[in-house]
Amino acid sequence: MPFQLEFLWTDLLIYLLVISVIVFAFYTLRHEHLRVPWRQVSRRPMAMASLVVLSVYVGLGLMDSVHYRPLLETQKQGERVYSNEVLSLLDKMTTLLRTRLEKTYSAPFAIQAYTKETMEYPDGRHAREYPRLLYGGAHLQDPGERMADITRRIGQATLTGLALWIPLVAGFLMLWRERMESWRQAVLRLCRGESQVPWRTIWVTTGILIVLTLNAVSLSQVYHILGTDQVGQDVFYKSLKSIRTGLVIGTLTTLVMLPFAAVFGIMAGYFRGWVDDVIQYTYTTLSSIPGVLLIAAAILSLQVYVGTHPDSFHSATERADIRLLFLCLILGVTSWTSLCRLLRGETLKLREMDYLQAARALGSSHVSVMARHILPNVMHIVLITVVLDFSGLVLAEAVLSYVGVGVDPTMDSWGNMINSARLEMAREPVVWWSLASAFVFMFGLVLSANLFSDAVRDAFDPRLRK
């Protein structure tokens, strides 16, 4: 094989999470009481538009979670030798962005360097000028053609995007239109939004994303559309690579948090007495300790272990991945207390219900009562908390990386981009695009997650459900 698959710890947990989501989806389809709130979510236009955007983020994150080691061209006596560099499927698809390195900073869509350099001419004279970039706009003979070239490429990519979007909509209409309904009536019904599911919003959002994607692909082939950083790396590529880090922090932390919160919260509310006192004392004590101090202590301890055991990690990617996993663990351990309080209070109310009293009277065990009668009735609280905490965890990674106790400095993340932007904003002239790029990509993910979580909260909260 021309490659060797590499499974990082976070990759395995992501695969487990994807399998769990698929199983939960099939379980939901078989139970009407679970389909009802999700059906209500699907009727909200903003929620479905946010879901389309989130799907793009998740797709990019999953592509960046398929890692491999490429086969080296030079082999030892017929033995296959693989590179120590760990790449991902997203790296393969963005090879041009990854390999086209400039000398240093360059502005978005620039064809010249951002600062002047001393240039020597063939006649021996020296001058301070802005040199041409190695790759950005290298296809242009005259710098004055840049705006015309950008406009032409935007127009072509937009028309191509519309040419791809229109057949998709036509294929959807072929399956969606009702029996004996003409094409004109189906198109009018779609344009007016006359359906329970907001298909108009979904397809408009999809069309915008297709056009933006093709524009980004077309322009990034010949320009650095978001500029380059201090070492000349494409900022657009770094922003795409940071998506996986944000998703891992937001999702894998949930896998760590849920068992603690669900088990301890339900046990405290069900058993009461000394069990409740011990669990309350535990999470109250944990909540009183500043979370940043716990995270800093854990990360510094991990750094000491990595420094004293370098042979345990075969590549820099593995070292960065184990730090990311450790950060998810410590965030999960320190963030389960609020959900535990909510589940305890709800369980205190549920344990007095008649059907629970009947189950205990008929001889059901404590484990059976908690698993079959209490847990399904608190799942709406769990789901609401999970989707609401996702955006907070993504922002937490940025803050922790900013103060130096987040992910590994060699790992691409929005927090590291914001951290490096501190010094860039103090330069003259100001290098603003790294901070702006991290803000735009993070804003898109957090805003979509918040809008979708609001719809999920309204649908699953019994007090708000219509």
The pLDDT value recorded for residue 243 is 92
Q: Give yes or no: residues 68 and 189 share one domain.
A: no
CATH of the domain at 326: 1.10.3720.10
48 located within any domain: yes
List of E strands, 139-251: none
386 located within any domain: yes
Q: Give yes or no: residues 313 and 245 share one domain.
A: yes
Q: How far apart are CA 110 and CA 143, in angstroms?
A: 10
Q: Give yes or no: residues 417 and 445 share one domain.
A: yes
The pLDDT value recorded for residue 75 is 61
Residues in the chain: 466
Nearest residue to 52 via CA among 164, 208, 238: 208
Q: Give yes or no: residues 82 and 198 share one domain.
A: no
228 located within any domain: no
**End-to-end CA, the chain:** 56
Q: Across the strands, what pairs with 129?
A: 117
Domain boundary among 100, 127, 155: 100
Q: Give yes or no: residues 351 and 285 share one domain.
A: yes
- Spell out the per-residue pLDDT of the chain, length 466, in tens: 677 888 888 888 899 889 988 998 898 888 887 788 888 888 999 999 999 999 999 999 999 999 988 887 766 666 777 778 888 999 999 989 998 888 888 889 988 888 877 777 777 777 788 888 888 888 888 888 889 999 999 999 999 999 999 999 999 988 888 777 788 888 888 888 888 889 999 999 999 999 999 999 999 999 999 999 888 899 999 999 999 998 888 888 888 888 888 899 989 888 888 888 998 888 888 888 777 777 878 777 877 877 777 777 777 788 888 888 888 888 888 888 888 888 998 888 888 888 888 888 888 888 888 888 888 788 778 877 887 777 778 778 777 877 777 788 888 888 888 888 877 877 777 888 888 999 999 899 988 988 888 888 788 766 555 5
Percentage helix, strand, coil, to 5, in the chain?
A: 70, 5, 25
82 DSSP assignment: B
Q: How far apart are CA 198 and CA 352, in angstroms?
A: 41
232 located within any domain: no
Q: How far apart are CA 364 and CA 394, in angstroms?
A: 42
Q: How far apart are CA 409 and CA 139, in angstroms?
A: 34
Domain boundary among 100, 118, 134: 100
Q: Which residues contact 429 (CB under 8 A, 6 or more apart)?
A: 114, 115
123 located within any domain: no
* 126: phi then psi, degrees, rounded to nearest 5: -120, 150
Q: Give yes or no: residues 304 and 389 share one domain.
A: yes
Q: Give yes or no: residues 449 and 303 share one domain.
A: yes
Q: Give yes or no: residues 40 and 181 share one domain.
A: no
Cis status, amide bond into 429, omega within 30 of 0: yes
Three-state DSSP class for residue 86: coil
Three-state DSSP class for residue 312: helix
Q: Give yes or no: residues 212 and 248 share one domain.
A: no
Q: How far apart are CA 262 and CA 378, in angstroms?
A: 9
Per-residue buried b or exposed e for 398-422, using 16+ beta carbons within 10 Å of the residue's own CB: bebbbeebbbbeebbbbbbbbbbbe
Q: Which residues contact 50 (CB under 8 A, 6 or more apart)?
A: 447, 448, 449, 451, 452, 455
111 located within any domain: no
Q: Give yes or no: residues 271 and 420 share one domain.
A: yes
Tokens (6 digits) for 25: 């989806």
What single-letter amino acid sits at 145? E
What single-letter amino acid sits at 439? F
Domain containing 440: what range?
238-460
Q: How far is CA 452 from CA 21, 99, 257, 455, 458, in A?
A: 16, 36, 21, 5, 10
Nearest residue to 442 via CA among 403, 406, 368, 391: 391
In the chain, the number of structural domains is: 3
Domain boundary among 100, 134, 164: 100
Nearest residue to 252 via CA among 324, 344, 171: 324
The pLDDT value recorded for residue 306 is 75
How do strand 117-120 and strand 126-129 relate by DSSP bridges?
antiparallel
**Under 8 Å between Cβ of 355 and 373:** yes
Q: Give yes or no: residues 150 and 279 share one domain.
A: no
**Under 8 Å between Cβ of 436 and 346:** no
350 located within any domain: yes
90 located within any domain: yes
Q: Give yes or no: residues 23 and 66 share one domain.
A: yes
Q: How far apart are CA 145 and CA 6, in angstroms?
A: 45
